[in-house]
Amino acid sequence: MPRSRQNKDQVPRIQALRRGLLVLVLLLALGGVFLILRYAGTVRARVSPLPSPSQRHIGNPPSQGPDSPSQTPSPATTTSGPTRSLGSAGSMPAGGDAKRACFYGSVSVMQHVGHQVGQTFDCALVFNDATPNWTGWEHPWFIGYYKPDFNWSAWATAVPGRQLVITQRMIPDNPPSDWRQRGANGEYDAHAAELARTLVAAGLGNSVIRLGHEANGTWYIDSVGSSQSDYDAWRAYWARTVRVMRAVPGAHFIFDWCVNAGARPIPFASWYPGDGVVDVIGGDIYDRLAANMQASTPAGRWRVLTTQPGGLSQLIAFARSHHKPLSIPEWGLVSSGDKGGGGDDAYFVNAIAGVVRDNAVAYQSYFDASSGGVMLLSEAQSSLAAYRSHFGGGGDAVRETRSGEGGP
């Protein structure tokens, strides 16, 4: 066959081959897009940057009790002063009597509130409590998150001295019924070590770890349980996790044993993990009265909230008896439209500041999210002014620790 005829006969075959390759490339590209979208959807479903109201419990059960933890707070006053960074480069971490002001929200909201109160926050509260499996538990969502407003690892490592308070659940979703004892026996040691390595590798080896927070409540799967044998297994597992994480090279974590003040007043001593593993003793408190609590004034509200069994007053005394600093990792106002909420209650803010000012407090963090009736500081002008006077520039409930640039 002449060469020219052979080439002509091959043209249709070549064209068909090209069309086939083009279709194959398009199919591969569409498949890749599908996988990317599916992965992104899975990540969004898993990480839950701001917990939903169903995930957050901010109420206190009915009860009353002994003494108030602080003196009657003074009225709020608005003060001005230079913007300064709390506990930034070269200053105390959120341990000891650092009186560090932390914040819960998004990066942009934290910066906005900082501008409002004349303060540069360099300590943020985050949650790793929406973990469907051990992989998610070991590799927290906030490390390299695709949205900059919630990429807390990038924020924390951008400026020296920044710190995260990491709320870390003790177990992923759907645990076996005997998970406490399994943990106490060392079955989950490898996962704790991997979590510590992940955090250290991300530059977060100095974080505060709020392990198994609010376990005296019943709303989280890593609750302390309902019997003394449950309590013993829970605290043994908690202590074991701390020892495993501390053993990882580069780990300088601060471990916070945090209760929900007033919820299920289980005696603290019956589930306390021990002085050797606890660095800070924390209590979460919100301005909401339980159904059978009565108070006609802001001062009365504070007294009822804090003097109930297992409340903030008893927790302060317990921390003192163990020579541990206190923390208030979550505190917030609750809308008056929400059952039991105190609304724009500057007295509550003043009282929190009094606790911080008059006690050895490692850190406190306002929970600035519209979740479960909690009010944003920007929605409560009187309380915002009180917050600024105590925790803003020149405030009386923070330590003066000037440093270099602490901006975003």
Interval 250-301: pLDDT, tens: 999 999 999 999 899 899 999 999 999 999 999 999 999 988 888 889 999 9
Start-end of H helices in 289-380:
298-307, 312-321, 346-358
Span 85-102, pLDDT tens digits: 333 322 346 668 999 999
Answer positive or negative: Cα dihedral of 291, 295, 296, 301. Answer: negative
Q: How many angstroms separate the CA atoms of 79 and 93, rounded?
A: 26
Q: Mean pLDDT, the chain, as a whole number?
A: 82
Angle between helical axes of 381-391 and 346-358 (0-180°, round to 10): 20
Cα torsion at 162, 170, 129, 165 (round to 10°)?
Answer: -10
SS3 362: strand
Q: Residue 96's pLDDT is what?
A: 85
Q: Residue 22's pLDDT is what?
A: 61
Q: Residue 21's pLDDT is what?
A: 59
Q: Residue 393's pLDDT is what?
A: 85
SS3 322: coil
pLDDT band of residue 61 (cuts 50, 70, 90) is very low
Cut 0.75: pTM above it: yes
Q: Residue 54's pLDDT is what?
A: 31
Span 101-157, pLDDT tens digits: 999 999 999 999 999 999 999 999 999 988 899 999 999 999 999 999 999 999 999
pLDDT band of residue 370 (cuts 50, 70, 90) is confident
pLDDT band of residue 242 (cuts 50, 70, 90) is very high
The DSSP result for 12-30, as a single string, is: HHHHHHHHHHHHHHHHHHH
